[in-house]
Protein backbone atom coordinates (compact mmCIF):
# COMPACT_ATOMS: atom_id res chain seq x y z
CA UNK A 1 0.00 0.00 0.00
CA UNK A 2 3.00 2.25 0.37
CA UNK A 3 2.94 2.86 -3.35
CA UNK A 4 -0.76 2.78 -3.98
CA UNK A 5 -1.66 5.52 -1.50
CA UNK A 6 -0.13 8.52 -3.36
CA UNK A 7 -1.64 7.18 -6.55
CA UNK A 8 -5.05 7.10 -4.93
CA UNK A 9 -4.52 10.70 -3.94
CA UNK A 10 -3.56 11.60 -7.48
CA UNK A 11 -6.57 9.72 -8.81
CA UNK A 12 -8.80 11.62 -6.40
CA UNK A 13 -7.41 14.91 -7.71
CA UNK A 14 -8.16 13.81 -11.26
CA UNK A 15 -11.62 12.58 -10.35
CA UNK A 16 -12.47 15.82 -8.56
CA UNK A 17 -11.04 17.99 -11.28
CA UNK A 18 -12.71 15.99 -13.95
CA UNK A 19 -16.27 15.86 -12.70
CA UNK A 20 -17.51 18.87 -14.62
CA UNK A 21 -16.14 18.02 -18.04
CA UNK A 22 -16.00 14.22 -18.08
CA UNK A 23 -19.11 12.72 -19.64
CA UNK A 24 -20.72 9.57 -18.29
CA UNK A 25 -20.72 6.38 -20.33
CA UNK A 26 -23.91 4.85 -18.94
CA UNK A 27 -24.62 1.12 -18.81
CA UNK A 28 -25.78 -0.12 -22.20
CA UNK A 29 -24.45 0.15 -25.73
CA UNK A 30 -21.30 2.24 -26.19
CA UNK A 31 -19.76 3.11 -29.54
CA UNK A 32 -16.20 3.85 -30.57
CA UNK A 33 -16.87 4.82 -34.16
CA UNK A 34 -18.29 1.72 -35.76
CA UNK A 35 -17.05 -0.61 -33.00
CA UNK A 36 -19.63 -1.26 -30.34
CA UNK A 37 -19.62 -2.81 -26.86
CA UNK A 38 -22.28 -3.17 -24.18
CA UNK A 39 -21.35 -1.74 -20.80
CA UNK A 40 -22.73 -3.61 -17.79
CA UNK A 41 -22.40 -0.59 -15.49
CA UNK A 42 -21.82 3.14 -15.63
CA UNK A 43 -18.30 4.21 -16.64
CA UNK A 44 -16.78 7.68 -17.13
CA UNK A 45 -15.65 8.59 -20.62
CA UNK A 46 -12.14 9.95 -20.02
CA UNK A 47 -11.22 9.98 -23.72
CA UNK A 48 -10.76 13.73 -23.57
CA UNK A 49 -8.02 13.21 -20.98
CA UNK A 50 -6.36 10.10 -22.32
CA UNK A 51 -6.93 9.63 -26.04
CA UNK A 52 -4.69 12.56 -26.98
CA UNK A 53 -7.22 13.76 -29.53
CA UNK A 54 -7.22 10.48 -31.48
CA UNK A 55 -10.79 10.30 -32.73
CA UNK A 56 -10.85 6.52 -33.12
CA UNK A 57 -9.68 5.82 -29.56
CA UNK A 58 -12.08 5.89 -26.60
CA UNK A 59 -11.00 5.48 -22.98
CA UNK A 60 -13.35 4.69 -20.11
CA UNK A 61 -12.66 4.59 -16.39
CA UNK A 62 -14.51 3.88 -13.15
CA UNK A 63 -12.27 5.19 -10.38
CA UNK A 64 -9.81 7.32 -12.37
CA UNK A 65 -7.33 6.61 -15.16
CA UNK A 66 -4.66 5.21 -12.86
CA UNK A 67 -6.98 2.75 -11.17
CA UNK A 68 -8.75 1.39 -14.22
CA UNK A 69 -8.77 2.29 -17.88
CA UNK A 70 -10.57 0.57 -20.71
CA UNK A 71 -9.51 1.40 -24.27
CA UNK A 72 -12.01 0.69 -27.03
CA UNK A 73 -11.09 1.55 -30.59
CA UNK A 74 -12.80 1.94 -33.89
CA UNK A 75 -11.15 -0.05 -36.67
CA UNK A 76 -7.66 1.47 -36.98
CA UNK A 77 -6.10 1.64 -40.43
CA UNK A 78 -2.47 1.09 -41.38
CA UNK A 79 -0.44 4.05 -40.06
CA UNK A 80 -2.84 4.76 -37.17
CA UNK A 81 -1.98 4.55 -33.48
CA UNK A 82 -3.49 3.72 -30.13
CA UNK A 83 -1.38 6.41 -28.44
CA UNK A 84 -0.86 9.95 -29.67
CA UNK A 85 2.77 10.77 -30.43
CA UNK A 86 3.95 13.76 -28.36
CA UNK A 87 6.51 14.80 -30.96
CA UNK A 88 8.15 13.70 -34.19
CA UNK A 89 11.15 12.45 -32.23
CA UNK A 90 8.99 10.39 -29.89
CA UNK A 91 6.89 8.34 -32.30
CA UNK A 92 4.35 5.89 -30.93
CA UNK A 93 3.64 2.50 -32.53
CA UNK A 94 1.71 2.60 -35.79
CA UNK A 95 -0.15 -0.27 -37.39
CA UNK A 96 1.69 -1.77 -40.35
CA UNK A 97 0.22 -3.61 -43.33
CA UNK A 98 0.01 -7.38 -43.04
CA UNK A 99 0.54 -7.71 -39.30
CA UNK A 100 -0.11 -11.09 -37.69
CA UNK A 101 -1.58 -11.76 -34.25
CA UNK A 102 1.78 -11.75 -32.53
CA UNK A 103 2.55 -8.35 -34.08
CA UNK A 104 -0.81 -7.02 -32.89
CA UNK A 105 0.21 -8.12 -29.38
CA UNK A 106 3.54 -6.41 -29.82
CA UNK A 107 1.72 -3.28 -31.02
CA UNK A 108 -0.41 -3.24 -27.86
CA UNK A 109 2.60 -3.84 -25.59
CA UNK A 110 4.66 -1.13 -27.27
CA UNK A 111 1.69 1.25 -27.10
CA UNK A 112 1.35 0.61 -23.36
CA UNK A 113 5.07 1.36 -23.00
CA UNK A 114 4.50 4.57 -24.97
CA UNK A 115 1.85 5.52 -22.39
CA UNK A 116 4.66 5.58 -19.81
CA UNK A 117 4.29 2.12 -18.28
CA UNK A 118 7.46 0.14 -17.63
CA UNK A 119 8.41 -3.54 -18.00
CA UNK A 120 5.47 -4.27 -20.28
CA UNK A 121 5.05 -7.95 -21.18
CA UNK A 122 2.32 -9.86 -22.97
CA UNK A 123 1.38 -13.47 -22.30
CA UNK A 124 -1.14 -16.28 -22.76
CA UNK A 125 -2.43 -15.49 -26.24
CA UNK A 126 -5.58 -17.46 -27.01
CA UNK A 127 -8.05 -17.58 -29.89
CA UNK A 128 -11.11 -15.43 -29.32
CA UNK A 129 -13.94 -13.71 -31.13
CA UNK A 130 -14.56 -10.02 -31.75
CA UNK A 131 -18.18 -10.32 -32.81
CA UNK A 132 -18.03 -12.87 -35.61
CA UNK A 133 -14.38 -12.07 -36.42
CA UNK A 134 -11.37 -14.14 -35.43
CA UNK A 135 -9.47 -12.35 -32.68
CA UNK A 136 -6.58 -12.85 -30.29
CA UNK A 137 -7.04 -12.39 -26.56
CA UNK A 138 -4.00 -12.02 -24.29
CA UNK A 139 -2.87 -10.80 -20.90
CA UNK A 140 -0.44 -8.09 -19.92
CA UNK A 141 1.79 -7.26 -16.97
CA UNK A 142 3.52 -3.93 -16.45
CA UNK A 143 4.57 -1.50 -13.75
CA UNK A 144 3.98 2.19 -13.37
CA UNK A 145 7.15 4.25 -13.26
CA UNK A 146 6.67 4.52 -9.51
CA UNK A 147 6.84 0.77 -9.20
CA UNK A 148 3.16 -0.18 -8.90
CA UNK A 149 2.31 -3.57 -10.45
CA UNK A 150 -0.26 -3.34 -13.21
CA UNK A 151 -2.25 -6.10 -14.92
CA UNK A 152 -4.05 -5.98 -18.20
CA UNK A 153 -6.00 -7.96 -20.73
CA UNK A 154 -6.67 -7.21 -24.37
CA UNK A 155 -8.60 -8.30 -27.42
CA UNK A 156 -7.39 -7.55 -30.94
CA UNK A 157 -8.96 -8.34 -34.28
CA UNK A 158 -8.26 -7.42 -37.87
CA UNK A 159 -10.62 -7.53 -40.84
CA UNK A 160 -10.40 -5.86 -44.22
CA UNK A 161 -7.35 -3.84 -43.22
CA UNK A 162 -8.93 -2.39 -40.06
CA UNK A 163 -7.79 -3.47 -36.61
CA UNK A 164 -9.91 -2.98 -33.51
CA UNK A 165 -8.78 -3.28 -29.90
CA UNK A 166 -10.31 -3.56 -26.46
CA UNK A 167 -7.67 -3.10 -23.74
CA UNK A 168 -8.09 -3.00 -19.97
CA UNK A 169 -5.36 -1.90 -17.52
CA UNK A 170 -5.54 -1.67 -13.73
CA UNK A 171 -3.29 -2.07 -10.68
CA UNK A 172 -2.73 -5.76 -9.90
CA UNK A 173 -3.64 -5.04 -6.30
CA UNK A 174 -7.46 -5.24 -6.05
CA UNK A 175 -8.45 -3.08 -9.03
CA UNK A 176 -7.77 -5.52 -11.87
CA UNK A 177 -9.74 -8.40 -10.35
CA UNK A 178 -12.50 -6.09 -9.14
CA UNK A 179 -13.39 -4.99 -12.67
CA UNK A 180 -12.47 -8.14 -14.57
CA UNK A 181 -16.01 -9.67 -14.61
CA UNK A 182 -17.37 -6.44 -16.12
CA UNK A 183 -14.48 -6.29 -18.61
CA UNK A 184 -15.10 -9.93 -19.64
CA UNK A 185 -18.72 -9.04 -20.42
CA UNK A 186 -17.65 -5.94 -22.34
CA UNK A 187 -15.18 -7.99 -24.42
CA UNK A 188 -17.78 -10.69 -25.09
CA UNK A 189 -20.19 -8.00 -26.29
CA UNK A 190 -17.69 -6.33 -28.64
CA UNK A 191 -18.86 -5.93 -32.24
CA UNK A 192 -16.45 -4.65 -34.86
CA UNK A 193 -16.94 -1.96 -37.43
CA UNK A 194 -18.98 -2.85 -40.49
Contact footprint for other proteins (CB under 8 A): 3, 6, 10, 13-14, 17-22, 48-53, 65-66, 83-84, 86, 88-93, 96, 98, 100-102, 110, 113-119, 123-127, 136, 143-148
- Residue 124 CB, nearest approach to other proteins (Å): 5
Conformational region of residue 14, where left means phi above 0, alpha means psi within -120 to 50, and beta covers everything else: alpha
Nearer to other proteins, 15 or 185 (CB): 15
Pairing of strands 43-45, 24-25: antiparallel
Identify the three-state secondary structure at position 4: helix
The values of phi and psi at residue 178, to 5°, are -60, -35
- Residue 13 CB, nearest approach to other proteins (Å): 6
Nearer to other proteins, 134 or 177 (CB): 134
Nearer to other proteins, 97 or 132 (CB): 97
Nearer to other proteins, 42 or 146 (CB): 146
Identify the three-state secondary structure at position 152: strand
- Beta bridge mates, 32: 35
Q: Is the torsion defined by CA of 19, 141, 81, 102 positive or negative? A: negative
- Residue 142 CB, nearest approach to other proteins (Å): 8
- Residue 93 CB, nearest approach to other proteins (Å): 7
Amino acid sequence: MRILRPLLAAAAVLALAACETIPKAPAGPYKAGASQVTLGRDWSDVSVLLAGGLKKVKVLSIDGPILNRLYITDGLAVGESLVKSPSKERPTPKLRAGMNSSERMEFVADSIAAMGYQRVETMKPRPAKFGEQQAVRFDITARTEDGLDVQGTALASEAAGKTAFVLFLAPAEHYFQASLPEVEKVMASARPAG
